[in-house]
Homo-oligomer: A and B are copies of this chain.
Amino acid sequence: MKSKQAIIFSVALLVGQMCFAQTNVLEDFKPSTLNQPGQEFPEVNSQGYARFKIKAPEADSIRVSLGLGGRGGTLLTKGADGFFTGTTEGPMDEGFHYYHLSVDGGTFNDPGALNFYGSTRWESGIEIPAHDQDFYALKDVPHGNVVQILFNSKSTHSQRRAFVYTPPGYNKNISKKYPVLYLQHGWGEDETAWSNQGRVNLIMDNLIAEGKTKPFIIVMTYGMTNELKWGHMKDFKIEPFQTVLVDELIPYVDSHFRTIANREHRAMAGLSMGGMETHAITLNKSNVFSYYALLSGGIYTPEELKGKTKPTLIFISCGSRERPDGVKNAVTALKGAGYNAVSYVSENTAHEFLTWRRSLHELAPMLFRN
């Protein structure tokens, strides 16, 4: 969301220029693909502008959290018909964005949009059409399943949920066994994020249909990250989640799905704080996972890998609006130390889901090739 244009507008706002002529905004707006059934708004155009329309005849003020990278968002204008309307001041990054409304000082979701779990609440979502959106589109190809499982966790005294992607064909050839990727969401999100926002099943279905990746199972569970307030990440202790993942979930998956249950066929990846978890757990348990991937979620250094079982592959990625040099330099250092490491930078995206959809699309074909 922190596009250059948005930053310029933001500065302009600060110096008091409150009104902008939106020159050259193309009037090819269409409903966002993440709208609720039958809802026209929010709309998006081919340039990445978003337009909102909210009914609230007696309200005084509605502001949309999108459009200025968190620095105020888009203030809507009330019409005589009781609808508030408005368009973002600039185009937004391609891909998925969370947002919400401030209605007379209260925080509500847009009644036109579907909701997605982020920021520790169900938020509205909008999809800015991406030039490469074909790789995560719903197509007429064989589809895998997304399986909701409930597993008993003794360490937390709870029945916990995970989602398991099984590739197309899983239910056809019932003797075949598959490798497994454990894939973690970020802070504020939960086990629904990779399927709903990340479209992980469609990315895999499409890659498999094109013969670009080996079919494998993907397991997504809640990383127990959200009890921690934003800004207190250093207080996070990995052990409780590591116990759930390694000692409870992995044995459940290996006994309930047709997995190849060994280190060489087990990967772990995570986005943002899920990358931090991946980093910690793979280093603690280098005998459990052989492929490691951090998506906008930090780096590995050769020093911290010393003395551990050597990973088959390390994948490190981020958006070009994050810290691509940090990612590239880390991979250069890892390669120099003899590790099989790959970097990937998503062009023109930030700390957001298009970065992670693309990262998964790059990562999947590199997994389990041995």
Contact = CB atoms under 8 A, between A and B. Distances in A.
B143 A145 contact: no
A111 B107 contact: yes
A138 B111 contact: no
Interface string A39-63: 0000000000000001111111100
A226 B57 CA distance: 27
Interface string A51-81: 0001111111100000000000000000000
B171 A159 contact: no
A139 interface: yes
Interface stretch (A147-155, A278-286, A308-316, A357-365): A147-155
A147 to B, nearest CB: 5
A241 interface: no
A257 interface: yes
Interface residues of A, number: 48
A115 interface: yes
Given A149-B143, A174-B174, A256-B172, A105 B159 contact: no
A152 B138 CA distance: 11
Contacts of A114: 122
Contacts of A103: 56, 59, 103-104, 106, 108
A201 B159 CA distance: 14
A140 interface: yes
Nearest to A143: B150
A7 interface: no
Contacts of A140: 152, 159
A325 B101 CA distance: 48
A277 to B, nearest CB: 18
A143 B148 CA distance: 10
A109 B124 CA distance: 11
A55 B106 contact: yes
A101 B147 CA distance: 33
A121 interface: yes
Contact of A143 (B36, B146, B159): B159
A120 interface: yes
**Which of A59, A61, A106, A171 has the most CB atoms of chain B within a 10 A radius of its CB?**
A106
**Which of A82, A151, A201, A256 has the most CB atoms of chain B within a 10 A radius of its CB?**
A256
Contacts of A255: 172
A307 interface: no
Interface string A85-129: 000000000000000010111111101001100001110000000
A38 interface: yes
Contacts of A211: none
B145 A149 contact: yes
Contact of A59 (B57, B82, B105, B149): B105
A139 B158 CA distance: 9
A56 B111 contact: no
A37 interface: yes
A195 to B, nearest CB: 8
Contacts of A143: 149-151, 159
A42 to B, nearest CB: 15
B106 A109 contact: no
A213 to B, nearest CB: 18
Interface in A132-189: 138-140, 143, 145-152, 159, 171-172, 174
The 3 nearest A-B residue pairs measured at CB: A56-B106, A58-B104, A59-B104
6 contacts: A37-B120, A59-B105, A82-B105, A140-B152, A143-B149, A143-B150
